């Protein structure tokens, strides 16, 4: 599973290492040939890459390449994508469910594509409510994992009907219902009802609290709560004001549906929300003069001094850039030699430089696509929110 801990560990891998990103999607006809396309690609690419390496690196590279090829030949592809880190003392593989492009790199672990995947598909929490209880799930890119459940000790939806007898029509929660209740029902019923209301309110609040705690613990950005009617309304209103900003309702009763099928039921609502969220974010970035930067030069300059708190990047941005091999200073200038240290400047992409810097500076990474991406490309496809002055001091 792709997560921040893994990414951190990959960054620490000993160098040199061969990084290979392979599109192993079994749905691709070319990948179903006796020699799948990604393997053919790797062999061809490797020949070219090998020639550009210094002599002392070529043998090391060749050894790792052979390991990777052997592994790929013996293996049935599982995920849509496969990432491999292979070095003299390293062997790491990661299957991903996203469609990725074939790429290899020798030297430092090549992390930009993984950082991009992390920025594109943030994990969310999904809470499924029904009469029996709440199920808490982690959702990321069409995959669902169960985090826990909370049983409701009383059958919520039946409380009112059963216990209210003939007068069960008006809303009965004491908050809104007290005034509408008929005195004729007697005090016993009122007491009972009062107790049930309190219990019900507590249950909804506890469910909301558990959802909030899980989201914080698992670093899940948004909480999608799926359920029906009053129960959905009551649980979602149980969130604190601060966490309620990250709560989205899905009006669907998915109680009886097994976890493995849930992704299909909530996926489109989540994708819809993500598109809206990206559009809002880009609008806010472009419309907001203060505390933000947009465009390549300014954003890169801020990134390099740790001034960005949240980087926003159009997913398919591929503008080229030069970066010093020695000190890492990057800019659009065409100079072959670094202004700062005289080191050699290699051609790379804005995407790679920006993503790696953002990770190192602990900035949030947001990748936008579709309409939001096109909008951002009007501002060179890159921008971000600046840290407040106090934050810069701490970071620097």
Sketch the per residue contact string, 338 through 357, with Zn ion: x for CB under 5 A, - otherwise: x-xx-x--------------
User: Closest separation between CB of residue 342 and Zn ion, Å?
Assistant: 7
10 Å Cβ neighbour count for 78? Answer: 10
User: Closest separation between CB of residue 343 and Zn ion, Å?
Assistant: 4
User: Closest separation between CB of residue 336 and Zn ion, Å?
Assistant: 12
Q: What is the CA 315 to chain-centroid distance, rounded?
A: 14
User: Closest separation between CB of residue 150 and Zn ion, Å?
Assistant: 55
CB closer to Zn ion, 233 vs 329: 329
Number of residues that bind Zn ion (CB under 5 A): 8
10 Å Cβ neighbour count for 328? Answer: 16
- Residue-wise DSSP of 322-349: EEETTT--EES---SB-TTT--BEEEEE
Residues 186/154/197/184 CA torsion (nearest 10 deg): -20
User: Closest separation between CB of residue 356 and Zn ion, Å?
Assistant: 16
User: Closest separation between CB of residue 386 and Zn ion, Å?
Assistant: 25
Contact positions with Zn ion (CB under 5 A) in 272-331? 324, 326-327, 329
User: Closest separation between CB of residue 338 and Zn ion, Å?
Assistant: 3
10 Å Cβ neighbour count for 96? Answer: 20
CB closer to Zn ion, 47 vs 340: 340
Contacts 24+ apart (CB under 8 A), 245-253: 246/215, 246/221, 246/222, 247/222, 247/223, 248/222, 248/223, 248/224, 248/273, 249/224, 249/225, 250/224, 250/225, 250/226, 251/226, 251/227, 252/226, 252/227, 252/228, 253/130, 253/226, 253/227, 253/228
CB closer to Zn ion, 44 vs 342: 342
* Both tokens assigned to 107: 């030297």
The CA–CA distances, whole Å, from 69 to 45, 46, 59 equal 12, 11, 15
User: Closest separation between CB of residue 361 and Zn ion, Å?
Assistant: 18
How buried is residue 233: exposed, middle or buried, by Cβ count under 10 Å (0-12/13-18/19+)? middle
The window from 133-141, 282-290, 337-345, 358-366 that contacts Zn ion (CB under 5 A) reads 337-345
Those residues whose C-beta lies under 8 Å from the C-beta of residue 54, and which sit 6 or more positions away, are: none
CB closer to Zn ion, 271 vs 327: 327
10 Å Cβ neighbour count for 374? Answer: 14
CB closer to Zn ion, 170 vs 327: 327
First to last CA, the chain: 32
User: Closest separation between CB of residue 301 and Zn ion, Å?
Assistant: 15
CB closer to Zn ion, 145 vs 327: 327
The CA–CA distances, whole Å, from 267 to 45, 326, 372 equal 36, 45, 20
User: Closest separation between CB of residue 57 and Zn ion, Å?
Assistant: 21
CB closer to Zn ion, 293 vs 324: 324
CB closer to Zn ion, 157 vs 348: 348
Instruction: Indicate whether 198 belongs to the interface with Zn ion (CB under 5 A).
Output: no
How many angstroms separate the CA atoms of 259 and 226, rounded?
13
CB closer to Zn ion, 315 vs 328: 328
How many angstroms separate the CA atoms of 171 and 278, rounded?
38
Contact positions with Zn ion (CB under 5 A) in 99-128? none
User: Closest separation between CB of residue 339 and Zn ion, Å?
Assistant: 8
CB closer to Zn ion, 309 vs 322: 322
Element (H, E) at 24: none
Sketch the per residue contact string, 24 through 63, with Zn ion: x for CB under 5 A, - otherwise: ----------------------------------------
CB closer to Zn ion, 121 vs 322: 322
Binding site for Zn ion (CB under 5 A): 324, 326-327, 329, 338, 340-341, 343
């Amino acid at each position: 599973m792709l997560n921040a801990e893994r990414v951190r560990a990959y960054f620490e891998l000993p160098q040199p290492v061969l990084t290979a990103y392979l599109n192993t999607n079994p749905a691709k006809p070319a990948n179903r040939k006796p020699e799948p396309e990604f393997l053919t690609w790797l062999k061809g690419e490797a020949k070219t890459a090998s020639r550009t390496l210094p002599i002392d690196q070529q043998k090391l590279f060749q050894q790792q390449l052979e390991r990777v090829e052997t592994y790929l030949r013996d293996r049935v592809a599982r995920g849509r994508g496969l990432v491999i880190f292979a070095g003299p003392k390293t062997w790491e593989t990661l299957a991903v469910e996203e469609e990725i492009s074939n790429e290899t790199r020798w030297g430092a672990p090549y992390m930009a594509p993984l950082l991009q995947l992390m920025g594109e598909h943030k994990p969310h929490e999904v809470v499924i409510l029904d009469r029996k209880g709440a199920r808490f799930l982690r959702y990321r890119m069409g995959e669902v994992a169960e985090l826990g459940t909370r049983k409701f000790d009383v059958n919520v939806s039946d409380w009112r009907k059963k216990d209210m007898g003939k007068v069960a029509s008006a809303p009965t929660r004491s908050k809104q219902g007290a005034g509408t209740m008929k005195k004729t029902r007697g005090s016993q019923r009122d007491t009972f009802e009062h107790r049930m209301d309190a219990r019900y309110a507590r249950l909804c609040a506890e469910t909301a609290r558990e959802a909030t705690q899980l989201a914080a613990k698992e670093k899940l950005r948004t909480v999608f709560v799926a359920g029906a009617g009053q129960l959905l309304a009551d649980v979602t209103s149980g969130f604190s004001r601060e966490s309620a900003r990250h709560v989205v309702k899905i009006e669907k009763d998915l109680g009886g549906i097994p976890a493995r099928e849930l992704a299909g039921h909530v996926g489109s609502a989540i994708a819809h929300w993500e598109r809206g969220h990206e559009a809002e974010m880009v609008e806010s970035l472009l419309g907001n003069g203060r505390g933000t930067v947009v465009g390549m030069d300014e954003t890169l300059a801020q990134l390099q001094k740790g001034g960005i708190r949240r980087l926003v990047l159009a997913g398919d941005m591929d503008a080229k850039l030069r970066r010093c091999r020695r000190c890492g200073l990057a800019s659009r200038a065409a100079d072959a030699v670094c202004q700062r240290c005289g080191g050699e400047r290699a051609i790379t992409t804005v995407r790679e430089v920006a993503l790696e810097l953002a990770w190192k500076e602990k900035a949030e990474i947001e990748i936008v696509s579709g309409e939001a991406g096109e909008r951002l490309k009007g501002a060179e496809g890159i921008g971000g929110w600046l840290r407040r002055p106090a934050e810069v001091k701490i970071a620097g």
